[in-house]
Every structure is written in C-alpha cells, then in structure tokens.
Structure 1
Amino acid sequence: MVLRVGYVREHFSTPLLQFQDADQNATFTLVECPSGTGQLISRLTKDEIDVAIALTDPLISGIANGSTAYKLCGSYVSTPLNWAVITGKDTKFNDISDLKGTTIGISRLGSGSQTMAYVMALKQGWPTDDLKFQINNDIRGLIDSVNDGSTSAFMWEWFTTKPFVDAGEARFIGSVPTPWPSWLIAAHPTRASPETLRAFMTSLSGYVRAFNSAANRDGPNVEVIKAKFGYPEEDIKAWLKTVAYPEDCLSIPSEVISHTLDVLEKAGVVKAPEGGFNVANFIAKDIVNLT
C-alpha cells in the first residue's frame, strides 16, 4: 500500500520532504493541504488521505468533539508553535486588546487558526462563547480579509507570515505561543495496517533525528530550507533556535493530550464528558507508544 500523507508545505515539513526525496521505493505520496489542519481533517474524513501531519490542538479537539475519522499515532514537533496575530497594513488595530468584539479570520472551522483564537481570548480574559469568525480558506484569503476590512485580524505561524509583513502587506500586533507541543501525526483507524504505519513513522523518525541534530542545525538545515522555501537566512536561523523534534515519532507523552484538553476545555473549545476524558481513547493503541 502506498500511504497518502497529508501535510502543510511549511518549513516544519522539511524532514518529511527530505524523507520523500530519499524514498526510492515510493512507499508514500504527499498530498499538500495549504489551508492547514482543518483541511487535513476534512481530507481524512473524505478518504482523500490516510495520514495527516497536523497541529496538535485541532486534532485533539476533533476527537474530543466526536470525530471518528482518525486517531493519534505519533508526534512530529515537540516545541510550541508561535502564532502571530496579524492585521491589515492600514487598520486601526495596534494591540491584541484592540480586537475584542471584532471578527477574526480563520482558514476553516476546526483549524488551528480558530482554536488558537479561543486560546487568545482565554489569555485576554474575553468571553469565548461570543467570538465571531469569517472563513477565508488560506493565507492569501486571510491577508486580503484584514486589508478589505471584513476581518480585524487572523492568526498564523510567525515565520510563515513574516514575508508578507516584510513586504508591507500586513502587520504583526502580537503573538500567542501554544501551551502544548505543536504538531502530531494522525491516521485513519482502518485504511492502513498498523505495520505499514509503524514502518512509515519509524523511517520518518530517522529523518527527524537527523534534521534535529546539532551538526545539521549549524549549516545544512539552513541551506535545505532556503532552497525549498526561499526564506531569508536570518529568519531560518531564528526559527531553528526555537524548534525541536522528538527522538521517536511513534511516542506521544500522555500529558500532551491531557494538558491540551485542559486548556481547550477552559477556552470553551471542548467539553469533558462525565468522569472526564480518557486519554487512551485518543490514540491508535496498536501503533503509538503512550509515555
């Protein structure tokens, strides 16, 4: 079976792209999902992909809210994601506090851009049950919306949006780091065998460890990211100082799931059942090592 692996083509995906470049037996194919985790979850649901490398919070909230389209089967990035808060080039908004009561742009319902808006509201002390959203699909739609006035701001990964800010198309007015490790791996519960999934992630772990090594961080990683994404060298070096990857993609610390659920419940994104959440219900038990 050739696995269909959904991903977002960003600098975080560099080890995955290196794996694909070396995959001479074509054991998997990559399916780009530029709209982010909401699109990844949608494609898992519609049988368009088998595996998704996606943001922690929407994956966990999706299962907590009843999705049976996937289970968590591994880890991908072990450090938080720094979500920039971005507004239009000429808007009146200069601080996160200015956004209270306004319409926030998101890529899709259930996306990281939406769940992090709830976390931002929680940190600001705003009510989370009256947040207003407008769906704008992708980074281009989001930038257009803050400049045409249909939304006040949107949230997206800092370094991905920095080129648009540097070009004068938008402005940063703050940032909200995730209170959890930022990327996990999920898979449909029946489309691929446990053996196939474990083999894929065991191999991916090798590329992740190599990318995460001190030797490659000092030079080779910078050149690879520059070639694949065209980011300025100073931005790549700054990002590499903030990011870390797991030693074993097949392992998920149980506290990652439980802590994320705690924060999402406080933010009003999920509601715990009577007796609380059972972390074991979130994972593919025959694949992942819950630590």
Structure 2
Amino acid sequence: MPLRIGYVREHFSSPLLQYADQDKGKTFTLVECPSGTGQLINRLTNDEIDVAIALTDPLISGIANGSTAYKLVGSYVSTPLNWAVITGKDSKYNSISDLRNTTLGISRHGSGSETMAYVMAFQQGWTTNDMKFKVNNDIRGLVASVNDDSSSAFMWEWFTTKPWLDKGEVRFIGAVPTPWPSWTIAAKTTAPSEELKQFLATLSTYVKDFDSEESRTEKNIPFIKQRFGYKEEDIQAWLKTVKYPEDCLKLDRKVIEDTLDVLKKAQVIKTEPEGGFKVEDFVSSNVANLV
C-alpha cells in the first residue's frame, strides 16, 4: 500500500513534487494540507496520513506536550524559515510592538503560526497573558481576518504571502526568522520502517538535485514559476536563502535540543519531565540516523 505523504503546497515542496511526478503514485500518494502543520499533525494523529513534511517547531512541541502518535524520521530544509508579520491593508498596526494585547490570527492551534507567535512574544518580552488567538484555517482566512479587524496580524512564510502584498491586500510590518532549521519529517509510530527509509533515501536524491548549483540556475526557477505562479525575481531571492540537507535520513541532536530550549523559554512547551527531555524519545531510531 503506498505511503500517504502529507505536505503543504508551497515552493519548499518542490523536490517532493518532482519526486511525485516521477513516482506517479506507485510508492506514495500526496495529501495536501493547506492549513499547514497543525492540520498535518491532526492528520497524523487521526491516521489520515503516514508521513508529514512539516515545520520543525510544532512537530517537536507536539511530542514534548505529550503526543505519541508520531516521531521524527528525517530532515527536509536546513535553513531557517522567514516568517513575515502581516496586517491588514488599512489597519492601525505599524510595528510588532503595536500587537501586544491584541488578537493574532493563526491557522490552527499547534501550528507554526501559533508557535512562532509565542517565539515573537518571547523576543518582545511579552508574557502568555499578552497573547490571544483567532483560528482562521488557511492563508485566505487569515488575510480576510486582518482586513475585517477580527485579528490584528498573523505570521506566515514571507514568499508564500508576498503575492497578497503585491496585490495590496496586506502589509508586512516585520519579520521573525526561526532559530532552527525550518522543515522536518515526521511519521506515524506505526508506519512501516523499511518503506519509510526507502522513501526518504529516494527523496534525498531529489533534494540534492534541487539544491545543486546547476538546478538552481536552470531547472528550479521555471518549475516553481509554473507550479506556483511566483514572480521570477521572488523565486531568485528565495533560492538565495534556502538550503536542503545532504541526507534526509539524518537528524541533528543539537537542533532538537536547541529547539526544545527556545520553545520552553517561549512557553510553547508547558511542562518538562523530571530529569529533562531525552532527544531519543523524539526520534524513530529504526528509521532516522541521529547524529
């Protein structure tokens, strides 16, 4: 039975989409999750997908906060994600500091848009008492929310949101890069390990090809332009900021430790077991190589 791979249809998914074009459903099928990582985690938990290519921080915080439905099995993007802080075209908010004690839009609870809001608050010196949220499901709902004043702002990846900025539907009032590599791969704890390893090993070849200098100058721009409709200059700007891992099967122990440390300080992780977290508890050791 083909693996069910949950993903978000964004430019970061390009190597996965190239793999899917060649595989044609023989070994895996794609399950689009437009609401992002919160939706991916829900679908893993509900046995609607086997694998999620998702944001690092919600995956780690989900396990830290008690989920046993999934574990980390690999790496996907090795560079930070640049989160834009976005408000309505006519809103009264002009800087991140203006957002204290307001209602922030998020896609879902447990999503990157929520965890990064806590990280932003931590950086600003706010407390959790300063944080209120409104769930808006997806990017369209979030854009509508900041323009009807039901939320003050929301956070979303810079280049994904830029088409709304270019159309004059929103304004960017800041940016908060993640303090960790942005995308990680998780799988249900019951997913077949041999199939997972084969999927990740083959995905690594597509990731390495996409990340090569030759592909960056020849193939990547027309592929992203055709699939996502982005402007060529935006694609070129994004390609200058992004790097992928050599091996998707490797997980860096220090990345997990450092991410846990920031998420604890930002109060995304509420409690810690006696003696602290063990990195091994976050990883499927029969699939991933923890280094």
Question: Once the two structures are superposed, what CA deviation does each residue of 1:75-130 show, in whole Å capped at 9, x if it has no partner?
Answer: 00000000000000001100001101100000000000000000000111111344
Alpha-carbon distance in structure 2 between the residues aligned to 1:202 and 1:215: 21
2:242 corresponds to which letter in structure 1? V
Between the aligned residues of both structures, percent identity stands at 70
Q: Within 5 A, what are the aligned runs for 1:200-219?
A: 200-219=199-218
Match of 1:165 in 2: 165
> Shift of the alpha carbon at 1:26?
1.4
Match of 2:203, SS state, is: helix
TM (norm. structure 2) is: 0.98
**Cα pair 2:73 2:288 within 8 Å, conserved:** yes
Question: Aligned pair 1:9/2:28, yes or no?
Answer: no
In structure 2, stretches of 5+ residues that fail to align are none
2:31 corresponds to which letter in structure 1? V
Match of 1:113 in 2: 113
Match of 2:72, SS state, is: strand
Alpha-carbon distance in structure 1 between the residues aligned to 2:174 and 2:102: 16
TM (norm. structure 1) is: 0.98
Match of 1:228 in 2: 227
> Shift of the alpha carbon at 1:273?
1.6
Aligned-CA RMSD value: 0.8
CA 121–55 in structure 1, closer or farther in 2 if over 3 Å, else same: same
> Which stretches of structure 1, 4 residues or longer, exceed 4 Å deviation after superposition?
none
Question: Aligned pair 1:153/2:153, yes or no?
Answer: yes
> Shift of the alpha carbon at 1:21?
0.5
Match of 2:44 in 1: 44
**Cα pair 2:100 2:130 within 8 Å, conserved:** no
**Cα pair 2:106 2:134 within 8 Å, conserved:** yes
> Shift of the alpha carbon at 1:202?
0.3
Question: Once the two structures are superposed, what CA deviation does each residue of 1:129-164 show, in whole Å capped at 9, x if it has no partner?
Answer: 441000000000000000000100000000000000
2:253 corresponds to which letter in structure 1? S
2:249 corresponds to which letter in structure 1? L
1:290 corresponds to which letter in structure 2? L
Q: What is the aligned length?
A: 290
Which region of structure 1 is more displaced relative to structure 2, 120-129 or 87-96? 120-129
Alpha-carbon distance in structure 1 between the residues aligned to 2:85 and 2:129: 20
Alpha-carbon distance in structure 1 between the residues aligned to 2:230 and 2:99: 30
**Cα pair 2:118 2:268 within 8 Å, conserved:** yes
Q: Within 5 A, what are the aligned runs for 1:1-291?
A: 1-24=1-24, 26-190=26-190, 192-270=191-269, 271-291=271-291
Alpha-carbon distance in structure 1 between the residues aligned to 2:62 and 2:24: 34
In structure 1, stretches of 5+ residues that fail to align are none
Alpha-carbon distance in structure 2 between the residues aligned to 1:273 and 1:264: 15
CA 286–171 in structure 1, closer or farther in 2 if over 3 Å, else same: same
1:215 corresponds to which letter in structure 2? E
CA 136–24 in structure 1, closer or farther in 2 if over 3 Å, else same: closer
**Cα pair 1:159 1:235 within 8 Å, conserved:** yes
**Cα pair 1:129 1:268 within 8 Å, conserved:** no
> Shift of the alpha carbon at 1:24?
4.5
> Shift of the alpha carbon at 1:219?
2.4
CA 257–199 in structure 1, closer or farther in 2 if over 3 Å, else same: same
Alpha-carbon distance in structure 2 between the residues aligned to 1:146 and 1:24: 39
Alpha-carbon distance in structure 2 between the residues aligned to 1:117 and 1:219: 37
> Shift of the alpha carbon at 1:209?
0.2
